[in-house]
Structure formats: C-alpha cells, structure tokens
Chain A
Amino acid sequence: MVSRKNGQKSNGSYSPQAASLLARGEPMVWLTGFGLVMGLLMVIALVGYLFYEGSVTFWPSPVVQIVTLDGSVVMGEITRSEDFEPQPETVAALGEEEISAAQAELSRREGKLRRSLVRTGNFELTGEHFRWVEDFRFGSQGIQKPKWALIFERTAWGRFYGVPVGFLIDGEIQTTGPEESWKLFNEHSGQDIPPSRYAIRLHTASGETKDLDLAEIVRAYPANQLGLGRKIGIYLDRWREFLTAEPREANSEGGVFPAIFGTVVMTLGMTLLVVPFGVMSALYLREYARQGWLTSMVRISINNLAGVPSIVFGVFGLGFFSYIVGGSIDAIFFVDKLPNPTFGTGGIIWASLTLALLTLPVVIVATEEALAAVPTSMREGSFACGATKWQTIARVVLPRALPGVMTGAILAMARGAGEVAPLMLVGAVKLAPDLPLDQHFPFFHPERSFMHLGFHIYDLGFQSQNSEAAKPMVFTTTMVLMGIILLLNTAAIWLRSRMARRYSGSKF
C-alpha cells in the first residue's frame, strides 16, 4: 500500500487526491451549481406544466358514447381519468350486475376503481355539465365514437352534444337525415343570423329531442369526423376567439380580451405614474438631501415599504384613493349622479395609483443605486464647466443613470402586472365589457372598473360555478398573462439597451 503511494508520487504526474476537495473549491462550485439547477428545474416544471395544460385546452377531442350496464347512455368528451378507492357501502348500493363488475375490478386492481369525467353538456336538459362514469359500468359495447355526434358551443348554457335529426327554417322541417341536416346547417350558419329563423333538431344521448337556434351557436363541428387540418383550424379559431372576444358563460367560455386590455392599460398607467415619482424621490434623497441619520431612516422605511403585504396597499387605495379622493371628485363634479359613485369607487386610475404606490420602493431603490453609480468625476466635470446643480443632474447624471432607472421600471412593471390582491379592492371585477379606452368622448375613462388577467385567473379557478369547465381556462389565461408580462419586459429591455448603446461605455 505504502509503496504504491510512494510510487505514485515519484512519477511526478498530477494526482487529484493531492489537494483536498475543499481546497480546490469544488464543493462550492457544486453547491452553487446545485442551487441554480434546483431553481431552474422548479421554474421549468412550473412553466412547462402551464404550457402543456394551456396548449392542449383548445385541441378538439372526440365525442364518446357509452352505454352503461343499467342501460343509460352518456355522450360527451372525456376530460380526464383517475383511480379512486370506493366506500364499501357505495358499491353495495349498486345493482347486481354492477356489483359483480365492480368487485371483479376491485380484486384485479387491488381495491381501486377507475373512472372518467365526461363532459356531457346539455345543461338545460340534464342539470349537469359533467358526469363521472366508472369503467365497470361500461356495457358490452364499451366506448363508441358515433360518426354524427356533433359538438355545439353556444352563447348560453354551455356545450351541447347530439346527433342531428332535422333542420328547420321558420319552424318548418326541411330534412331529416343527419348528413343532410348538417349540410343545411353549414349552408345557413355564418355571420348575422336572424334569431329564431333557423334551427337544427338534435337527438341527445338521454333520448330527448331539442331544437337549437342557429343564432345562439358560436361553433359546431362533427368531432369524430375531423381530419388533422380541421382540428388545427378549430384549435387556432378557439385561440383567436380566446384572445379577441369577450367572455361568456360566467367567464368559463369565450375570450379574455377585456382582461388583456385592462391588464395592459393598468400596467402601463402604473409605470407612467411610478417612474416620475420614484425618480424624483430618489433624486432628492441622493442629490439634494444632506446625508445623515434622517435620510438613513427614510431609506430604511422605503425598503421596508417593499415588505408591506400588497393587500394593505389595496385597503389604503380603497380608503384613500377611491373613497376620499374619488369621493371628493364626485362631490364637486358629479353631484347630479350621487348617490351613485362615479370616481368614488374602484376604477382603473385608482388601481394604477395603488400599484404605483406598491412598486414605488423598487423604483426608488433602483434609481438611487443608479445615481450613486454615476462617477463623481462626471459631476465635477459638469460643475467645472459652470453648470448649476440642476443642469448637472438633468444633462449629465440622469442620462447616465437612465439604464439603471429603466431597470427599476422593468422590475416595477413585472411586480405590478402580476399583482392581484390589491386590485380586488380597487377596481378589478369579474366582468367589465366596457373598456377603459373607447371611441366615446372623452375616450379614456379612468373611473371605469376593469378586468385583469390575474384576477381573472383567481375568478376562474376559485369562484366559478362550473369549475370543471373553467379549469382549463385557468391555464390558458395564465399563459396569456405570462406572455404579456414577457412582452412588456422585452419591450422595456429593448428600450434600455437602445439607451445604453447611446451612452456606450456606461455599464450597468
């Protein structure tokens, strides 16, 4: 052993055992790398999951028909499947045939049953949107995909699933077969359909017949006859509708355009408000104020302000901006409308102001750092040219600090665009089809309440009546919100790099 060691040393080649791991610093490399990898993995998992769920939402799935053991028929789209452990008494309460089928599956799969959630639609007939169907209930035919099962997306009552059995014009039946009815449907659907003129007669899985007015149908397609091209067409059309249309069905259908618009206007408004205030405050603190314990106190307070829960800012915004400031505006300018508030309630201007207050510390701290990084020699150079303090600040210090100020603005924007809690108090609402900008005088309506993507996510995920239908929309809405924040940030970073290039040599 010893002789081998000596032999290794004597040949003079580098031996990795010679220096300890710690001495070579490798544990630190691994530790820091591990931190980065963990963080990245979590972000990638989150974004990947969101992206996956969000992108499959609008893909048209086939319509299945299941005839259960008790003879009832279920038609719809399977949204997901899962295993569950049933209570013994639930199994005992079933019919004879089902008990034996369930028991067989239970013994085969170690006490678990499989079930699928089927979107059955036809809410006005059945009183439900979704139904759980356990696998053991499947009859001998299993899952069928009827050729003429159609999916209808409507302006009200959610989706409808059925097989066409006739087409009516002004209440007169024109044809009876499914193919002919679908052909007539396609001929008469399109833009501007007069209400209660055309209708398609459908036969549902539950054995009922229902006439659907064409004017109430948003989209219809034979789900089991689609080729890839048609599927992509429907997928893209649904995205187009999602991004450009107003929401329907308590936000669980339709689009999010008002929310996109509200988010962008509110965020830009907030940025326009917070940057000048933040820069002015930082200028005073850094350039004019005598540095001492008082300025230190102010600085500590500003940093602490960043840690105040955002809902507190929301409460302050509601109390101060909406009720006091808005109430005073109402009392002076909108007396005739009282007691209905105009400015004295939540509105996009108050939301922007509240978020501006919330993000103020970010801008002040970033601007102060940027100002401190401007070399003293530059200020001295300006003073030596006979510039006053303000001329020096405006012409030399601020331009040099501008990229840093932009960094603060970008951070503030990202923080503000993703904030939800305070908005619920100061103007974000479930449904506000009236946009804050429109073609009616005075074009910008700062007092209007608005929709916000962040609040929309909360509303869809936790406040929806039809939560199963709303759930996929949570993912798509989140994707859109992230996309918008990414876009706004990219724009700001592009602007910053342009500025930095103008003053090339400045580092930040």
Chain B
Amino acid sequence: MPTIESRTAGDRLTRIARGEVVSTTIHPELAHEEAVLDVQGFNLWYGETQAIFDVSMSIPQGKVTALIGPSGCGKSTLLRSVNRMNDLIETVSISGDMKLGPDSIYGKSVDVIELRRRMGMVFQKSNPFPMSIRENVVYALKINGERNRAVLDEVCEKALRGAALWDEVKDRLDESGLSMSGGQQQRLCIARAIAAEPEVLLMDEPCSALDPIATSRVEELILRLRGDYTVLMVTHNMQQASRVSDFTAFMYLGQVVEYGPTARLFTNPLLKETEDYITGRFG
C-alpha cells in the first residue's frame, strides 16, 4: 500500500524516462469498487517500440474513469487495446491480458467481433456513417442480424434519448447523419455506441474537436450515463477529467503512475509527480 511517504520517494518520471518500470500507485478506495474491466500486466509494442509497459488496473462498474497524461503517453493506445482496435495495425504485438467480466480479451479463442459488440466506442473525431440518422444508431444491431422494425425503432429512440439528441432529430431520422452539426454528430456517435447496451463505453477524447458549448453538452451527457454505463475515457483536458470522472489514472510514457478517485487525485494526490502535472508545473 502506498503511503504519504511515497510523495517524496525519488523522481518517478525521471526513472520512467530512463526506461525503468515503476509500480503504479493505486489508491485504496478502488479496492471497494466492483471491477468490470481488469487489465493485467499489459504490454504493447508498435514494431520494436514499446508503447505500454506492464499496466495493471481495474475499471470500476458503472463509473466514469478518465485517463490523463501528456501527449504520446499511451492513453489512446491503452483505450484502443480494450476493444482490440489495435489489431487493425499489423505491426502491433502485445503481452499480458485484459478481462471483460470473467472473459479474457486477448485469449486464443476469443471472437473479436463478438467482443467488440459488448463494448461501445466513441472516437476523437465524430464519424457518422454515410446513412440516415436512424440507420446510424441501429447499425450495431442491424449487423448483428436484428430485423424487427419495432425493436429497432425502440432502440433508436432510447439511444437517442440517452444521448440527449432525440428532441433535436426526432423529426428527421431519415436524413443523412452527415447533415448534422459537429456536436450533434458526436452525440449521434455516442447514441450509436450505447444502442447495443455495451458493458463498457470507450471514449477517445470525445470533445477535442468540439466547441465549448458542444463540449459541455457532451460532458453533461457523460454525467448522465454514469451509473448505467461504465465509461472509460481518454482526455487531455484536465478540467474535463475533474468535471466528469469518478476515477482518474495519470499516465506517463506508457505507464500508469497514479490511479485513484478523481477528487483525491486532483486535490491531494499521493505522488508529487501527479501534483506537478495537474498543477501545470510539468507536462
């Protein structure tokens, strides 16, 4: 168990920069949470370059967890490893495992398609498909073989309401998803991601391409989703992390330095390095 003394125990960031693997400082509060996603000793390489070093963390059920850290620290890579989007890159190799509930994510006999259906993902840049708003939302269900119009309509409405978009688009569900504004498009992507009732919702800097008003709407939305969905989000905006997340993990050069309740981490972190980063003295 890390104690307050560790705040003074050498400069972890310098050690990480030298290539040493530093153990993650995890706050005791996390032990009380029920984990839905469990990362176990996960390493990832792009070709010869290692991008993630021995990350172990569990993501609590029904909570919003934020990954923060300077650019290039591996936040997005870690997030994309959860639903194995990195499989699309040929040079990627990994070791270690993750578990979604009781099931292994990187096990030999895992059906990646099936696995991805259990998770939703929202990307940095909104990416609605070239089809109508309705088709966009029910895409995941349709490719899964759902044909019943009544079911699809119900899911569509529920997801759009969940994404706080229903009132704006209910009269033009058959218009192109690309005809909406940027903020609406991003909420449409969130609706698409939650339509299939995912166990984990992955968000990769969901507000970085949005203006402040659209950002605040998406943040409100994330706050509303808390409880119903487990959200794992990457953000480089620390104010955002403090506003919307329950737990925050500070990453640096592919390692998780400190992981704990957001309120603790931002006001009274265990490590001096985290405090330096959060207060802007470094990074």
Stretch at the interface among B121-129, B158-166, B244-252, B269-277: B121-129
Of B88, B114, B117, B176, the residue contacting A380 (CB under 8 A) is B88
> CB distance B116 to A384 under 8 Å?
yes
Using known A-B contacts A380-B88, A384-B116, A386-B140, determine if residue A505 contacts B178 with beta carbons closer than 8 Å: yes
Q: Kindly state the separation between the CA atoms of A380 and B89 in the bound complex, as whole angstroms.
A: 11
Q: Is B139 an interface residue (CB 8 A)?
A: yes
> CB distance A381 to B189 under 8 Å?
yes
> CB distance B85 to A383 under 8 Å?
yes
B115-172 residues at the A interface, CB under 8 angstroms: 116-117, 119-121, 123, 125, 127-131, 139-140, 143-144
> CB distance A386 to B176 under 8 Å?
no
Q: Is A382 an interface residue (CB 8 A)?
A: yes
Q: Is B23 an interface residue (CB 8 A)?
A: no
> CB distance A503 to B140 under 8 Å?
no
Q: Which residues of A contact B116 (CB under 8 A)?
A: 383-386
Q: Is A341 an interface residue (CB 8 A)?
A: no
Of all chain A residues, the one with the shortest Cβ separation from B202 is: A384
> CB distance A386 to B129 under 8 Å?
no
Using known A-B contacts A386-B117, A503-B178, A505-B179, determine if residue A380 contacts B129 with beta carbons closer than 8 Å: no
Q: Which residues of A contact B176 (CB under 8 A)?
A: 502-505
Residue among B85, B129, B140 facing the most chain A CB atoms (10 A cut-off): B129
Of all chain B residues, the one with the shortest Cβ separation from A386 is: B117
Q: Is A307 an interface residue (CB 8 A)?
A: no
Interface string of B41-81 (1 = CB under 8 A from A): 00000000000000000000000000000000000000000
Q: Is B187 an interface residue (CB 8 A)?
A: no
> CB distance B192 to A385 under 8 Å?
yes
Q: Is B196 an interface residue (CB 8 A)?
A: yes
> CB distance A381 to B114 under 8 Å?
no
Q: Is B113 an interface residue (CB 8 A)?
A: yes
> CB distance A385 to B143 under 8 Å?
yes
> CB distance A385 to B196 under 8 Å?
yes
Q: Kindly state the separation between the CA atoms of A506 and B131 in the bound complex, as whole angstroms.
A: 11
> CB distance A396 to B129 under 8 Å?
yes
Q: Is A377 an interface residue (CB 8 A)?
A: yes
Q: Is B262 an interface residue (CB 8 A)?
A: no
Of all chain A residues, the one with the shortest Cβ separation from B129 is: A396
> CB distance A391 to B127 under 8 Å?
no
Q: Kindly state the separation between the CA atoms of A269 and B117 in the bound complex, as whole angstroms.
A: 42
> CB distance A399 to B120 under 8 Å?
no
Number of interface residues of B (CB under 8 A): 29
B99 to chain A minimum Cβ distance, whole angstroms, is 19
> CB distance B113 to A386 under 8 Å?
yes
A379-403 residues at the B interface, CB under 8 angstroms: 379-388, 391, 395-396, 399-400
> CB distance B129 to A506 under 8 Å?
no
Of B85, B113, B139, the residue contacting A388 (CB under 8 A) is B113
- List the count of A-B residue pairs having beta carbons below 8 Å apart: 84
Interface string of A489-501 (1 = CB under 8 A from B): 0000000000000
Q: Kindly state the separation between the CA atoms of A60 and B196 in the bound complex, as whole angstroms.
A: 75
Residue among A381, A382, A395 facing the most chain B CB atoms (10 A cut-off): A381
> CB distance A384 to B121 under 8 Å?
yes
Residue among B88, B130, B139 facing the most chain A CB atoms (10 A cut-off): B130
Q: Is B83 an interface residue (CB 8 A)?
A: yes
Q: Which residues of A contact B119 (CB under 8 A)?
A: 384
Number of interface residues of A (CB under 8 A): 23
Using known A-B contacts A377-B123, A377-B125, A505-B179, determine if residue A385 contacts B139 with beta carbons closer than 8 Å: yes
Q: Which residues of B contact A381 (CB under 8 A)?
A: 121, 123, 127-129, 189, 192
Using known A-B contacts A383-B85, A384-B120, determine if residue A391 contacts B143 with beta carbons closer than 8 Å: yes
B67 to chain A minimum Cβ distance, whole angstroms, is 17
Q: Kindly state the separation between the CA atoms of A379 and B202 in the bound complex, as whole angstroms.
A: 16
Using known A-B contacts A502-B176, A504-B179, A505-B179, determine if residue A378 contacts B127 with beta carbons closer than 8 Å: yes
Q: Kindly state the separation between the CA atoms of A399 and B123 in the bound complex, as whole angstroms.
A: 21
Residue among B119, B176, B196 facing the most chain A CB atoms (10 A cut-off): B176
Of all chain B residues, the one with the shortest Cβ separation from A400 is: B130
Q: Which residues of B contact A377 (CB under 8 A)?
A: 123, 125, 127
Interface string of A464-508 (1 = CB under 8 A from B): 000000000000000000000000000000000000001111100
Q: Kindly state the separation between the CA atoms of A379 and B125 in the bound complex, as whole angstroms.
A: 13
A105 to chain B minimum Cβ distance, whole angstroms, is 75
Of all chain A residues, the one with the shortest Cβ separation from B139 is: A385
A320 to chain B minimum Cβ distance, whole angstroms, is 39
Of all chain B residues, the one with the shortest Cβ separation from A506 is: B130
Q: Kindly state the separation between the CA atoms of A391 and B128 in the bound complex, as whole angstroms.
A: 16
Q: Which residues of A contact B139 (CB under 8 A)?
A: 382, 385, 387, 395
A114 to chain B minimum Cβ distance, whole angstroms, is 68
Q: Kindly state the separation between the CA atoms of A3 and B120 in the bound complex, as whole angstroms.
A: 77
Of all chain B residues, the one with the shortest Cβ separation from A503 is: B130
Q: Kindly state the separation between the CA atoms of A129 and B144 in the bound complex, as whole angstroms.
A: 76
Interface string of A199-220 (1 = CB under 8 A from B): 0000000000000000000000
Q: Is A375 an interface residue (CB 8 A)?
A: yes
Using known A-B contacts A385-B196, A504-B178, A505-B179, determine if residue A380 contacts B143 with beta carbons closer than 8 Å: no
> CB distance A399 to B114 under 8 Å?
no
Q: Kindly state the separation between the CA atoms of A505 and B116 in the bound complex, as whole angstroms.
A: 28
Of all chain B residues, the one with the shortest Cβ separation from A401 is: B130
Q: Which residues of A contact B178 (CB under 8 A)?
A: 503-506
Q: Kindly state the separation between the CA atoms of A254 and B67 in the bound complex, as whole angstroms.
A: 80
B231 to chain A minimum Cβ distance, whole angstroms, is 15
> CB distance A387 to B123 under 8 Å?
no
Q: Kindly state the separation between the CA atoms of A506 and B85 in the bound complex, as whole angstroms.
A: 24
Of all chain B residues, the one with the shortest Cβ separation from A376 is: B88
> CB distance B129 to A378 under 8 Å?
yes
A452 to chain B minimum Cβ distance, whole angstroms, is 38
Q: Kindly state the separation between the CA atoms of A207 and B6 in the bound complex, as whole angstroms.
A: 127
Q: Which residues of B contact A505 (CB under 8 A)?
A: 130, 176, 178-179
A502 to chain B minimum Cβ distance, whole angstroms, is 6
Q: Kindly state the separation between the CA atoms of A382 and B127 in the bound complex, as whole angstroms.
A: 9
Q: Kindly state the separation between the CA atoms of A396 and B117 in the bound complex, as whole angstroms.
A: 17
> CB distance A399 to B85 under 8 Å?
no
Name B's A-contacting residues (CB within 8 A): 83, 85, 88, 113-114, 116-117, 119-121, 123, 125, 127-131, 139-140, 143-144, 176, 178-179, 189, 192-193, 196, 202
Nearest 6 interchain pairs by C-beta:
A505-B178, A386-B117, A384-B121, A503-B130, A385-B140, A377-B127
20 pairs from A and B in contact (CB 8 Å cutoff): A375-B127, A377-B123, A380-B127, A381-B123, A381-B129, A383-B116, A384-B83, A384-B121, A384-B193, A385-B143, A386-B140, A386-B196, A391-B143, A395-B129, A395-B131, A395-B143, A396-B129, A399-B130, A503-B131, A505-B130
Given contacts A381-B189, A383-B116, A396-B129, 6 further A-B contacts (CB under 8 A): A378-B130, A383-B88, A384-B116, A385-B117, A385-B192, A388-B143
